[in-house]
Amino acid sequence: MLELLKDNVWLIAFIIWGLPLSYYRSNFRKIVYQTNDWKINIKPLFVKEIKALFGNIYSENTAYIKARNFYRFYLLIYLILFSFYQFYGKS
């Protein structure tokens, strides 16, 4: 059992870190597209979302700024985790 966990530590790390991603992305998209409709989670609207992530489209909206900064941090950790996997995780 311990060997199985050791062999799949990267998969386990990605799954654990990825579980709340849909929740955070949903909150961020609802702020960006200014809707509370659940269908925003399945629509493939990306241009405004990318502009909002890397830019500042609602500078006066503090909820947007907090969500954007947290989402950036969350994705940065994902990038770091993936980088460690690329450099150290391959057998």
Q: What is the mean pLDDT of residues 4-24?
A: 85
CB of 30 within 8 A of CB of 52?
no
Q: What is the mean pLDDT of residues 7-33?
A: 89
Task: Quote the pLDDT of residue 90.
Answer: 65
Distance CA 20, CA 40 (A): 17
Q: What is the mean pLDDT of residues 40-48?
A: 84
Q: Convert the pLDDT of each residue in 24-35 to its tens digit.
A: 999 999 999 999
Q: How many CB atoms lie within 10 A of CB 55?
A: 11
Q: What is the mean pLDDT of residues 14-18?
A: 88
Task: Quote the pLDDT of residue 91.
Answer: 56
